[in-house]
């Protein structure tokens, strides 16, 4: 068997340390980003325990003064102060972006799995889920949101118990819209993955006396869902970005807030750079998270190492 490990060459050690420095920077940036978000959110929920609601966590004036004292970046001090000043609004919008994405993804998953299963194993139901996925994937998401919001006026049907959760009912409309749409895309990824589960696995399940449904639940899905993780991560990432379409039905999420501030201050470039970086941070978090999940649930011989 594999025996003694060869000592690392200098070049390998340098590459390793480069990689670990890069990792460290990424982790630090992630911690800073999520720390800022969570503290901002908690501060707002608790009615401004740290700083008055709506104020940045650090005073912009102090940031400007500090940076101005550092030669080389002094020229950017005013811009930095401006970014700090708008940070509470960005944090506030990001909250809705995160909530809408997460809720739609999770609820959508529980719709997508039966859709995918019926697509593969159903008879009549296969046609129903085919029709559903094609309809939702074949029409523009924005049009779907408009139908739900302006056409059906879904917001007016939100029950009282749910009404209080968000400041506006239209958030629920967005969650419903992204859930229904995302479920169709997720179903496609999951369908592909469960189709790649070998036929013999099902035969073996049936042969020990599991029903078809039990075989799907205990044998096919645990394997198929693992195969689905990489492509499913794409849907996660897309949804983070697509959630900005909620702005068009007046959901005050990240993009909506950014757009609002930009049209008030006319500082479009800076604001959309900050917004872009925020989306990027969310996307990176999502893909890192899913990488973690993937390696956490990985099984020897399943998935990546499956191809000989």
Partner 1 sequence: MSDDGFLRVADVSKWYGDEQVLHDVSFEMDRGDVTVLIGPSGSGKSTMLRCVNRLAEAQEGSILLDGEEVLSPDLDVNDLRREVGMVFQGFNLFAHLTAVGNVALGPRRVLGLSEAAARERAEAQLERVGLGDQFDSYPAELSGGQQQRVGIARALAMEPKLLLFDEPTSALDPELIGEVLEVMHGLVDEGMTMLVVTHEMSFAREVADEIVFLDDGRVVERGPPDQLFERPERERTGRFLERIASHD
Contacting residues for 155 by C-beta, under 8 A, at least 6 apart: 149, 168, 169, 170, 172, 173
CB nearer to partner 1: pick between 72 and 300: 300
Smallest separation, CB 1 to partner 1 (Å): 13
Report d(CA 182, CA 222) in Å as an integer: 21
Q: Is 3 in the site for partner 1 (CB under 8 A)?
A: no
Provide φ and ψ at 110, rounded to 5°.
Answer: -75, -15
Smallest separation, CB 295 to partner 1 (Å): 15
Report d(CA 161, CA 211) in Å as an integer: 40
CB nearer to partner 1: pick between 42 and 204: 204
What residue ranges in the chain does DSSP mark as E strands? none
Smallest separation, CB 197 to partner 1 (Å): 9
Contacting residues for 286 by C-beta, under 8 A, at least 6 apart: 233, 236, 237, 240
Report d(CA 299, CA 308) in Å as an integer: 15
CB nearer to partner 1: pick between 121 and 272: 121
Nearest residue to 189 via CA among 109, 245, 300: 109
Determine the size of the site formed for partner 1 (CB under 8 A).
23
Out of 12, 134, 264, 305, the only residue in the binding site for partner 1 (CB under 8 A) is: 305
Q: Is 299 in the site for partner 1 (CB under 8 A)?
A: yes
Smallest separation, CB 214 to partner 1 (Å): 6
Smallest separation, CB 106 to partner 1 (Å): 22
Q: Is 159 in the site for partner 1 (CB under 8 A)?
A: no
The CB density around residue 95, as the number of other CB atoms within 10 Å, is: 20
Q: 134 and 124 in contact (C-beta within 8 Å)?
A: no
Site map (CB under 8 A) of partner 1, residues 194-233, x = contact: ----x-xx-xxxxxxxxx--x---xx--xx--x-------
Nearest residue to 84 via CA among 270, 244, 276: 270
Smallest separation, CB 223 to partner 1 (Å): 5
Binding residues for partner 1, rule: CB under 8 A, are: 198, 200-201, 203-211, 214, 218-219, 222-223, 226, 299-302, 305
């Amino acid at each position: 068997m594999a025996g003694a490990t060869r000592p690392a060459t200098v070049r390998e050690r340098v590459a390793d340390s480069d990689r670990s420095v890069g990792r460290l920077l990424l982790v630090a940036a992630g911690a800073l980003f999520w720390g800022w978000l969570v503290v901002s959110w908690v501060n707002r929920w608790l009615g401004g325990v740290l700083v008055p609601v709506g104020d940045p966590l650090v005073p912009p004036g102090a940031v400007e003064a500090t940076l101005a004292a550092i030669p080389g970046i002094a020229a950017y001090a005013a811009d930095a102060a401006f970014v700090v000043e708008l940070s509470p609004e960005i944090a506030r919008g990001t909250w809705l972006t995160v909530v809408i994405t997460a809720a739609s993804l999770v609820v959508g998953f529980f719709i997508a799995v039966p859709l995918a299963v019926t697509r593969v194993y159903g008879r009549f139901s296969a046609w129903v889920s085919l029709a559903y996925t094609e309809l939702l994937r074949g029409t523009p998401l924005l049009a779907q949101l408009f139908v739900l919001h302006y056409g059906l006026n879904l917001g007016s049907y939100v029950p009282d118990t749910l009404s209080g959760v968000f400041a506006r009912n239209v958030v629920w409309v967005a969650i419903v819209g992204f859930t229904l749409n995302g479920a169709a895309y997720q179903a496609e990824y999951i369908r592909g993955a469960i189709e790649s589960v070998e036929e013999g696995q099902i035969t073996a399940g049936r042969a020990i006396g599991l029903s078809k449904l039990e075989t799907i639940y205990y044998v096919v899905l645990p394997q198929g869902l693992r195969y689905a993780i990489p492509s499913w991560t794409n849907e996660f990432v897309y949804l983070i970005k697509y959630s900005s379409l909620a702005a068009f039905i007046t959901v005050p999420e990240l993009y909506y807030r950014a757009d609002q501030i930009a049209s008030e201050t006319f500082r479009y470039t800076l604001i959309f750079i900050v917004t872009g970086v925020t989306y990027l941070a969310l996307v990176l978090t999502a893909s890192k998270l899913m990488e973690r999940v993937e390696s956490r649930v990985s099984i020897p011989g399943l998935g990546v190492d499956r191809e000989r």
